[in-house]
Structure 1
Amino acid sequence: MATWFDGIKSFADVPITANGISTQEFLEAAESLTTLFDVMQSKAFGVVKSDLTGNIKKVRDRFVAAPAESQTLQELVINELKTGKHTATEGLLWLVRGLEFTAKGLRHNIDNPSTELADSFRNAYGDTLKPHHSFVVKPLFSAAMSACPYRKDFYARLGEDQGKVQDGLNREVPALEERVRILKEFLSSPQAKW
């Protein structure tokens, strides 16, 4: 019996090397994760998904333009900044913020089994994206948080076998958290500044 996790590229399969996090696999995993917002079955989440996919495209465009110097996300940023541009670097910064929001929302919900999804994602939004959003964007994201499905419905949509769903969450969320932590640390370092 398949779950949502069976159809995605897992962050657990994204290599972390001495040179950084593999760009190609990371982008594939991030694209897979955006389908989680389809599982929410709310048009309000279109803004969240669109934000993520737009930033994935910025990073991918740089990767396609300069693959040899973009094998890891860290190399991509360092080499892009040498050119005097920062489109992909800024895209990665916002992508990491969006992924952190998603990871924190899921983590809060896993750790608090009686909490509704809307509350978990509302808390995550306040901790991650909200401080960086303008007064124009904040209401759009607030509407998305309010449109979260009920917890029981969301987990049922992830898969019928709830044991497999829990196994998927227990694999995916820590892997996502680890890669977000590494990238946040790198993006706040002097070598990633523009």
Structure 2
Amino acid sequence: MASPFERVITRSYVDVDTSNGIHTEQFLEATHGLINMFDLFGSSAFSVVQNDMRNNVKKIRTWFVNDTKANDTLEKLMANESHLKKRQATEAVVWLKRGLDFTAQSLIHSLDNPKDELSVSFIKAYDATLRPFHSFILAMNACPWRKDFYANIGIEDEKSIQLMREWLDGLFKIIDKLNREFEQYPAYLRH
């Protein structure tokens, strides 16, 4: 029987084609699963992050569906929007990448430090990823307990932990690819 994590993650980041750029539709599908994973946390503490990610996915999808062939990768999508004064999809990619990096850093820290409660992992990840960009403070007191969190998402044995690590590795590869794109085209980071 599939765990809640496996049911909600309908496409793993491992399965997002990045051979010719980050496949837009597959990336959005994988990210949709991550956003839905927040529902399994058993806490409303991250509803602001979840809603922000949803809005960014919506902006990217809106630009993508205007011309699915021309925008089949995130890199092409941002390049195709670069001539516009207001680049909503590009801005959404930037902020979504930041939110994904926060989530990935939180989860990998939690997996690598099994004695830490989730609030410690989330604070460390926030400091490393989001703090430079805004002063929003997450409600860490509302963070679920570690044991409850992992029970809710069904990550409780070595096999499921390995599955989550592989998923995170795929996500980190996408984040790294986006970071390289932003280094190559720093104008994408200016809104």
Taking structure 1 as the reference length, the TM-score comes to 0.90
Q: Which amino acid aligns with 1:70?
A: N
Instruction: Please give the residue correspondences for 1:66-105 in structure 2 after superposition, counting only pairs within 5 Å.
Output: 66-105=67-106
Unaligned runs of 5+ residues in structure 2 are none
Q: Secondary structure at the match of 1:130?
A: coil
Offset of 1:66 from its aligned partner? Answer: 2.1
Give the structure 2 partner of residue 65 of structure 1.
66
Give the structure 2 partner of residue 187 of structure 1.
182
Q: Secondary structure at the match of 1:16?
A: coil
Give the structure 1 partner of residue 4 of structure 2.
4
Q: Which amino acid aligns with 1:74?
A: E
Dislocated runs of 4+, deviation >6 Å: none
Change (3 A) 1:86 1:160: closer
Taking structure 2 as the reference length, the TM-score comes to 0.91
Instruction: Please give the residue correspondences for 1:105-116 in structure 2 after superposition, counting only pairs within 5 Å.
Output: 105-116=106-117
Give the distance between the partners of 1:160 and 1:111, measured in 2 at CA. 14
Give the distance between the partners of 1:52 and 1:186, measured in 2 at CA. 20
Q: Compute the RMSD of aligned alpha carbons.
A: 1.6
8 Å Cα contact 1:156/1:162 also seen in 2: no
Kindly tell me the number of residue pairs found equivalent between the two proteins: 187
Give the distance between the partners of 1:111 and 1:72, measured in 2 at CA. 32
Give the distance between the partners of 1:146 and 1:94, measured in 2 at CA. 24
1:36 aligns with 2:37: yes
Give the distance between the partners of 2:169 and 2:97, measured in 1 at CA. 15
Change (3 A) 1:192 1:70: farther
Q: As a proportion of its length, which structure holds more helix?
A: 1
Give the distance between the partners of 1:146 and 1:67, measured in 2 at CA. 42
Q: Secondary structure at the match of 2:161?
A: helix
Change (3 A) 1:161 1:42: closer
Give the structure 2 partner of residue 146 of structure 1.
141
Q: Which moved more, 1:152-161 or 1:40-49?
A: 152-161
Q: Which amino acid aligns with 1:152?
A: K
% same residue: 41
8 Å Cα contact 2:59/2:88 also seen in 1: yes
1:173 aligns with 2:175: no
Unaligned runs of 5+ residues in structure 1 are none
Give the distance between the partners of 2:57 and 2:187, measured in 1 at CA. 18
8 Å Cα contact 1:34/1:53 also seen in 2: yes
Offset of 1:171 from its aligned partner? Answer: 1.4
8 Å Cα contact 2:150/2:156 also seen in 1: no
Give the structure 1 partner of residue 17 of structure 2.
15
Give the structure 2 partner of residue 124 of structure 1.
125
Q: Which moved more, 1:165-174 or 1:121-130?
A: 165-174
8 Å Cα contact 1:77/1:192 also seen in 2: no
